[in-house]
Structure 1
């Protein structure tokens, strides 16, 4: 289609003035050169942004199906009935809840996508069984996002100070969830090893269904921002020093380095 306004190819960062024939990608609200549409190497030029919550949902289904098979094997005649009448253990349903949270946040991030906000979902961390839930490459840098669907209100508890070492703890509904901050910091370092120190990095814990107050509520601990989906979307849409070309290049590098989980 001929562009109705100036744009930038999300793949190579080339400026595309009004009237240029280009491909408009409705899902991400970005454009790309016809050369990438026609290239036989399009799979390399068009990174797979991944599917939010895909690996968590697969793990839930694997555990659910394995439990059903065990019950049916142990009780051949009434196994199906027993399975239907009993609940899945919490260790299994937690994977479904996590997948749902990632899917909901992923949908919001996809809706916020533009030439200066490009997303990746469910990326495998090299040399680890862990994954990064979401990445948003934006005008203000790269957001490394861990989505959580926890109940309760996230708060910051600070201990120590003048005479004792300051210790910050992330509490959610009275539970100590500080280890979540450690996890995000590890993910940030993985991304830093790929993009270097010249691109600003923002670690984020995004609680999807938490009990957030009507006013305020967001905070940071050890350089990890703790917030809710609407606040995150506003952050990734903010204007910043990185142009569409730079955003496209960083997005492509991350997509190639961190494959879908």
Structure 2
């Protein structure tokens, strides 16, 4: 279809202008580039099964769609912003929508969705008998969600994806005469509260899996990481980038029954 409004490819993050040709995915209400992968393999693992149609393909299991809830929220906010403009300008509403810039608070949801989608694609590439992943899982009784959960032979990883600009660093204040305080900065942005959020999610997952090891991770997708070093740990939460995270996941060794734990976690934390 030709786009009536600017959009962003949910897979590669490319910004698509008005009237650009793109593929609209009705199930997720998102778009993607014509050049990006097609079919169900772009969303979830699939396999052939015996049906009346010999070539039918259905999902093996619902891993969730990375960034889906953030993408929905972006679309909801954008539609609401456009409706306000149309009501304000009446017959000139269409022109007002075309000429106005998106509110930063609205655009931030699209930016976050792209970060989750890109990290989700990398995590999906790791899936094997020893690594399972779940995306965009709803926290029961709330509107909040967990971006990604990875299950390895060594335990569970709770992963929060962020797409911030700037260099992540750990700043330690206090010490001898006053309490030591650890702060996470990305450029000049104080992101310490993100660690608090990950720790809360870790506790929720730990309540479900009992004594199994649960590790929290804050993954900055497009940050200005240095060529050497850069990753750090604060309050037991690993702060790193996608490639580093992927390496740790595939190197995890242990005796966890990945399939059983995956089923337990997936049944408690449903797709958002």
Query: Above 0.5 in TM-score?
Result: yes
1:27 is displaced (CA, Å) by 8.1
Would you say 1:221 and 2:234 are equivalent positions? yes
Aligned residues: CA RMSD = 2.4
2:201 matched residue in structure 1: 187
Gaps of 5+ in 1: 1-25, 39-45
1:31 is displaced (CA, Å) by 11
Would you say 1:248 and 2:237 are equivalent positions? no
Deviations 1:198-254 (A, max 9, x none): x111100000010000000000000000000000111111141125xx111000000
Given that 1:155 and 1:171 are in contact with CA atoms closer than 8 Å, whether structure 2 keeps it comes out as: yes
Residues of 2 paired with 1:189 and 1:104: CA distance? 26
2:245 matched residue in structure 1: 232
2:181 matched residue in structure 1: 167
Residues of 2 paired with 1:30 and 1:113: CA distance? 9
1:47 is displaced (CA, Å) by 4.1
Q: Secondary structure at the match of 1:220?
A: strand
Deviations 1:33-64 (A, max 9, x none): xxxx78xxxxxxx6411000000000000000
- Please give the residue correspondences for 1:36-51 in structure 2 after superposition, counting only pairs within 5 Å: 47-51=61-65
Given that 1:169 and 1:178 are in contact with CA atoms closer than 8 Å, whether structure 2 keeps it comes out as: yes
1:29 is displaced (CA, Å) by 11
1:176 matched residue in structure 2: 190
Q: Which has the higher contact order (CA 8 A, sep 6+)?
A: 1
- Please give the residue correspondences for 1:1-261 in structure 2 after superposition, counting only pairs within 5 Å: 47-197=61-211, 199-243=212-256, 246-261=257-272
Residues of 1 paired with 2:134 and 2:252: CA distance? 19
Q: Secondary structure at the match of 1:76?
A: helix
Gaps of 5+ in 2: 1-40, 51-59
Residues of 2 paired with 1:160 and 1:81: CA distance? 55
Q: Taking structure 1 as the reference length, what is the TM-score of the superposition? A: 0.81
Number of matched pairs: 225
Residues of 2 paired with 1:125 and 1:150: CA distance? 24
Q: Taking structure 2 as the reference length, what is the TM-score of the superposition? A: 0.78
Q: Secondary structure at the match of 1:184?
A: helix
The change in CA–CA distance for 1:27 and 1:247 in structure 2 (over 3 A counts) is farther
Given that 1:160 and 1:167 are in contact with CA atoms closer than 8 Å, whether structure 2 keeps it comes out as: yes
